A and B are shown apart, each in its own frame.
Chain A
Amino acid sequence: MKEAEIAGLFNSELDAFLLGGKEPVFSPDPGAMEMAGELARADFSCDSLIRESLRGRLVGATPRCFTESLHALFANTYARAALAAAALFVAFLPLFHRMSPRSAEVPAPARPALLRFSSAQPAARGLVPGLSYAPRSAVTQAGGLFVSLPMGRLETEPIKYFPIVTAGCRIPIGLSKGREVNPGKHSVIMPETGGDILIIKRRVVSLEDIFERRLI
């Protein structure tokens, strides 16, 4: 038998042994097959000192795919609890939102919202040159639409004449006496009715009429 034939037979038996663990019986050269068996069983990797440390260094640096990251995240009990709490919070957030502004709202009694100087039609903003309207931010800083003024302070202010105007075109413009006080950043006119008719109308306003509500 030629060497090539022996080698072919040897390799086919060796492959069967390596693939299926079939005990090699190679009659032409039993010693060679025994040697091959020794080589196949040899495992030098127990001598390695870096197996675990290298794995930790390399696998820890591997970018994981999304599902694997989620799986790893949920493997941690604390992270699982925190995620569950966060999910519950997000789920109930709309409910909290719906409840909390209502409960936080000041139960609004009928507040005097607008002063009207005529019974005919409501006063239009900006038509009274002497009246300055506080910006919304100033109103909120002051704590409400109207600010209480100590009577003593009010009486120290001089009485002036202010134009009175109402909405609509045919209502005559008149003057009204009043005291202009400056409680904060804006001025307030406290009218004295005198001979003019001053109607204070009250109506219920909601916070939405005054403030813009934004959801975060």
Chain B
Amino acid sequence: MDFAELYDTCFSRIYNYVRCHVRLAAEADDITGKVFEAALRGFGTYDEAKGPVQGWLFGIARNAVIDWARGRRSQVSLEEAPEPAAADPKLEAAQERKAEQALLLKALAALDERSRDIIALKFSSGMNNREIAAMTGLGESNVGIIIYRAVKSMRSEIEAAGKL
């Protein structure tokens, strides 16, 4: 797999993973850009024997998000800044989709960092619980429980908002 193929295959997944942590699209763009820049720098030294390339890429993304979170603590939070209006406001379906995404992001933001990270990995990376456990340093069964609890918590959050 060359870098272009990796980019085309993984851009959406990496972006989604980052976006689960970062509510602002512009910040997610910024972090995703850094992830792929770092991936390009290290692509020549990537060793297939050490694991699938997606796992390697998500490791870079995870580090980028951790770095972003560390830097954010010393800055004024923009979490609550309003998202820019949809580019196609006339389309009702697009607005509805945006509203659903906003709810999901809000529910994700309500999770603790570890749960959010595991949920983001589970639904973005395509990794199974064992691979997530290896990446995060947790036990596989623990990862399963965290996922179940996090999903239930998000469901409760959205139900409380009365939207879903």
Question: B-contacting residues of A (Cβ < 8 Å)?
Answer: 3-4, 6-8, 10-11, 14-15, 18, 29, 31-32, 34-36, 38-40, 42-45, 47-51, 54-55, 58-59, 61-62, 64-65, 68
The stretch that binds A, out of B30-38, B51-59, B64-72, B74-82, is: B30-38
The smallest C-beta distance from B11 to any residue of chain A, in angstroms, reads: 6
- B7 A40 Cβ-Cβ under 8 A: no
- A38 B29 Cβ-Cβ under 8 A: no
- Which chain B residue lies CB-closest to A6? B148
List 7 A–B pairs whose Cβ atoms lie within 8 Å, in order of A's numbering: A4-B141, A18-B126, A32-B148, A38-B100, A39-B104, A44-B16, A58-B7
- B40 A61 Cβ-Cβ under 8 A: yes
The smallest C-beta distance from B157 to any residue of chain A, in angstroms, reads: 10
User: Which residues of the other chain, A, contact B123 by a CB distance below 8 angstroms?
Assistant: 18, 36, 39-40, 42
In residues 21-56 of chain B, which contact A (Cβ within 8 Å)? 25-26, 28-29, 32-33, 36-37, 40, 43
- B4 A62 Cβ-Cβ under 8 A: yes
A31 to B151 CA separation, bound complex (whole angstroms): 9
Interface size, B (range): 35 or more
- A7 B144 Cβ-Cβ under 8 A: yes
The smallest C-beta distance from A70 to any residue of chain B, in angstroms, reads: 14
Q: A32-B152, A39-B123, A62-B40 are in contact. Are A11 and B144 (CB under 8 A)?
A: yes
The smallest C-beta distance from B162 to any residue of chain A, in angstroms, reads: 14
In residues 1-15 of chain B, which contact A (Cβ within 8 Å)? 2-4, 7-8, 11-12, 15
Decide yes or no whether B134 CB sits under 8 A from chain A.
no
The smallest C-beta distance from A17 to any residue of chain B, in angstroms, reads: 11
User: Which residues of the other chain, A, contact B25 by a CB distance below 8 angstroms?
Assistant: 44, 47-49
- B128 A58 Cβ-Cβ under 8 A: no
User: Which residues of the other chain, B, contact A55 by a CB distance below 8 angstroms?
Assistant: 4, 7-8, 11
Contact of B12 among A29, A34, A36, A45 (CB under 8 A): A45
The smallest C-beta distance from B42 to any residue of chain A, in angstroms, reads: 13
